[in-house]
């Protein structure tokens, strides 16, 4: 498998994967901002920003970790399981830090966090597997 580090590019886009994930997070945040504001006011926007930011930070950090993990000769099972455990630890650590430092509605933050996290993880998986899918086609 080739390098999936910062400079990994696909035929569809010349942008590196972390930049594309960032653009997806920003676009999704902008799309969700108006409905969030209308439903919950400024508190909902704050929860949206915190949840989106935590998701984005976790996915980017794990992307860098995965990029580095594919370099040594580790088994794919170890990489996947380790990546999952590290993502969860990072996510819950950041969520605990937010709960202590800021006054936010944690239920709303968790809802936004899960939504953004799922979208970003799926996008990351699509971007990472694109070179493999093209080779098979």
Dump pLDDT digits (tens) for 27-47: 999 999 999 999 999 999 999
Question: Does any domain span residue 2?
Answer: no
Split into its structural domains, the chain has a count of 1
The predicted structure's pLDDT at residue 121: 86
Dump pLDDT digits (tens) for 77-105: 666 666 777 888 888 898 999 889 988 88
Question: Does any domain span residue 66?
Answer: yes
Question: Does any domain span residue 6?
Answer: no
Question: Does any domain span residue 46?
Answer: yes
Question: Does any domain span residue 22?
Answer: yes
**Domain carrying residue 47:** 17-136
pTM of the model: 0.74
For residue 85, count CB atoms less than 10 angstroms from its CB and return exposed for 0-12, middle for 13-18, buried for 19 or more.
Answer: exposed
Question: Does any domain span residue 82?
Answer: yes
pLDDT band at residue 137, thresholds of 50, 70 and 90? low
């Amino acid at each position: 498998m080739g390098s999936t580090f910062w400079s990994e590019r696909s035929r569809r886009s010349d942008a590196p994967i972390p930049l594309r994930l960032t653009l997806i997070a920003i676009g999704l945040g902008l799309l969700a901002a108006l409905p969030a504001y209308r439903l919950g006011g400024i508190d909902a926007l704050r929860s949206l920003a915190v949840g989106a930011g935590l998701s984005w930070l976790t996915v980017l950090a794990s992307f860098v970790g995965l990029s580095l993990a594919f370099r040594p000769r580790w088994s794919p099972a170890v990489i996947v399981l380790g990546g999952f455990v590290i993502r969860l630890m990072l996510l819950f650590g950041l969520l605990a830090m937010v709960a202590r430092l800021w006054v936010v509605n944690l239920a709303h933050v968790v809802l936004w966090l899960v939504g953004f996290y799922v979208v970003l993880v799926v996008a990351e998986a699509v971007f990472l597997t694109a070179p493999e899918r093209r080779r098979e086609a």
